[in-house]
Structure 1
């Protein structure tokens, strides 16, 4: 074939020149792509002239690609409108990052219109864009008709008043990954969020760096216990404490799909960890657990953290900034002989481990509870008379209250409690130590709880009145916990 083609040319040089031109001649598809990109660049320049803004070379270089990254570009209203109009009908864009943009009400109208018209976008990042309230609701409504699978709304000031909108967002069928870190979610209005979370198709959820605790933590744990899709949950830096860990323990018993759980810096003290271990021992799916930066003493690590590795299927245990002892390392080495386990910790010190009896006595100390059980009981009493509240608890009508009746009271109120909480309540109310509470003991205990509550309220008000003098306190070397002068350091 080459010889026949060669005869058509007068010389070999002409034939070689022809072959070279064939090699460097661009493909028709490449020419089409190049012309399409040039057309879009021209469209962008026309939009810039029409809106009276300068052309951004950073965006021009990304025209025609699947990723448009304009993070921290501080785009104003007109610049954002120009960019969105340029990529409005561009079905090749899969990833859009507008984090850090200076968005006003008009900007969000342009963004919502773009989201309603675009059907190809899969990844959307809107960090630090002040999306909250009505704006959060408008963006969520626009996303319901899109195919976005990855959504990042970190550091936007989303709070408890946005929980209704958040529940709508969690119910989206297309959404697979949702990041809501560094927001202001706390404890209120989480019931609907828990219901939506139970039916959500999310696979990764990040709620770190919020203030989710108490009822908020309980509702989230309840929702996840019924969820069948979530694989990774990040709840770090929230302050779950004792009540949150009891709820998480119940969640781990029921859930069989969650493989990664991050509980870094959640005020998980030994009683809370004991409650969590109960759920971990009955879970065979969780593989990665992060307990870094929680207040777990060295002498407790062998018994508590060692039990996690012994009784669960954890393959990776992360304990950054937690000091362990030699007994704990011995347990890790023994387990590694039978299965693969990776443990990351701060350092190891030759501190003796506590025995089970000593540990049991120490974890019952009242200061270890996030919310005192007596205050919890007083909170459930609300404005009822003590005698009416007694009759409400006394289901069987035998005029005495038992462990089971107190447990049913908290269960009906939707508050998961452990045996430690019930022990503390019974110990406080039971004067004759017979294990049951009669009416006279209950009325006397009610008076004592009220007296304790008044004293705590006065102490809280006294301490709060000193907050404006915090700098003076530091200069005077006064301990902020006890409000006493540190004589040794002040001299």
Structure 2
């Protein structure tokens, strides 16, 4: 046994004991680390005593680590101040979670001051903290000088009035992932958001569980079409519907960087899916598409979803809660012979697929495009006087309008309508609920329809800037008079 300085030891046993003690003795770095943590805990306890708050053992255990998780701790402003004072000089803290804390204005002032001076924090979670209005504005301003790359602002009540602030947040240079799920973004004032999305450096954006539809959906899609950084986009649980899918189709034609798109539960019925397929088949970057929980009938899956697989570069197609048929599975097996494709669906039933002619007749029905029956009736009236229009409908001359006479009116105009459409028209006009519409009821109903139409005209004037959507509507092969979809030329 080699022994250095063996003269210092009386025996081999003494030397072995010395080696054992040296092995178990903590090194200098560990001692300094332990001392640093104890020093920070002592500083935290003194700060709590000075501010008159209790020390949180949950936080004390996390001092010295890179992740600080204080979610659902219901911190008040002084408790938050003591926590931020403790970690402000700790350059190892990279993850801070304050979700679920109902903090006051003072709390956010402390947080904003901390973010302006901190250079190590990269992940910040503030879910369910009531961040909106002036608080969101102050937080956005403080993030401009921070190093935060991941920001979660879910379930904070962010709405359309915060869109101007939100547009500034989207252009934060360091931000890579932004989560805005479970908020209240709708259709108004999203133009600024769309413009900022075109310039954003985000790689992941989550807008799920909002109320984005109509012009809001168009603006979001328009902005993403010019974005060159976004890789993953979650739009699930909104209401994009037909209008949104037409805009998304144009986006996919122009965008060549988006790889994942989640459209779960977005009211995508067959006509909307046909509009979306056009963009999917012309995009080579999209690899993952989620269409779960959308109203796609079993008999349509072979023609529509099969077209997505055969004519695109999709590698993963998620169809949870969607039932497919045997013909669709045959297409899946055929595609898997040439490239790797993963398809997830609810179940398979032996339901025959519709032929193209039958499906064309079904998806062309106007009611699928959410046309209001009252607007449809007012459109047929054109510039005729209400009494002349009444006499035109009243073919049998009995001075009352019946259910059958309304049906004949739409049939003669070449507009097929469902029973639900006629029921809504008669229910609106029939004030005494006897099942027939006399002249006085018709004249009164005409006045009310005009009032509703004037309100909608004002809304239309507000949307005059959305000329691109008008072009999108024409590109989707929609007849402006009948609102019918030409699916033969839409693929």
Query: Deviations along 1:56-79, whole A, 9 cap, x unmatched?
Result: 111001000000000111112221
User: Higher mean Cα deviation, 233-242 or 6-15?
Assistant: 6-15
Residue 472 of structure 2 is aligned to residue 417 of structure 1: yes
Q: Which residue of 2 aligns with 1:324?
A: 324
Alignment of 1:39-438 (within 5 A): 39-370=39-370, 412=467, 414-419=469-474, 423-427=478-482
Tell me, in whole angstroms, the C-alpha distance in 2 between the residues paired with 1:51 and 1:71.
Answer: 22
SS in structure 1 at match of 2:205: strand
Contact 1:218 1:415 in 2 (8 A): no
**Secondary structure at the counterpart of residue 38 of structure 1:** helix
Task: Please name the residue that 1:449 is paired with.
Answer: none
When the two chains are superposed, the root-mean-square deviation of aligned CA atoms in Å is 2.2
SS of the aligned residue for 2:83 comes to helix
- 2:482 and 2:369 map into 1 onto residues whose CA distance is 16
What does the per-residue CA deviation read over 1:128-151, in whole Å, with 9 as the maximum and x for residues that have no partner? 000000000000101110000000
Change beyond 3 A, Cα 1:262–1:81: same
Q: Distance in 2 between matches of 1:374 and 1:249?
A: 30
Tell me what 1:21 maps to. 21
Unaligned runs of 5+ in 1: 380-408, 430-491
Change (3 A) 1:262 1:29: same
Q: From the superposition, tell whether residues 18 and 157 of structure 1 become closer, same or farther in structure 2 (CA, over 3 Å).
A: same
Q: Deviations over 1:290-342 (max 9, x none)?
A: 00000001110000000000110001100000011111011111111111111
Displacement of 1:199: 0.8
**C-alpha separation in 1, matches of 2:363 and 2:465:** 21
Distance 1:252 1:181 in 2: 22
2:321 counterpart SS class = coil
Of 81-90 and 160-169, more deviation after overlay is shown by 81-90
1:143-175 Cα deviation digits (max 9, x unpaired): 110000000000000000000001000001100
Instruction: Tell me if structure 2 keeps the 8 A contact 1:246–1:416.
Output: no
Structure 2 CA distance for partners of 1:296 and 1:47, relative to 1, 3 Å? same
Q: CA deviation at 1:88?
A: 1.4
- Contact (CA 8 Å) 1:180, 1:207: kept in 2 or not? yes
Deviation at 1:7? 2.9
Shift of 1:371: 5.4
Task: From the superposition, tell whether residues 414 and 296 of structure 1 become closer, same or farther in structure 2 (CA, over 3 Å).
Answer: closer
Does structure 2 conserve the Cα–Cα contact (< 8 Å) formed by 1:410 and 1:416? no
* Shift of residue 375, structure 1, vs aligned partner: 6.1
Shift in Å, 1:360:
1.2
Question: Hey, what's the Cα distance between the residues in 1 that align with 2:222 and 2:128?
Answer: 30
CA contact (8 A) 2:246 2:476 kept: no
What is the DSSP-based 3-state SS (H/G/I as helix, E as strand, rest coil) of the residue aligned with 2:296?
A: coil
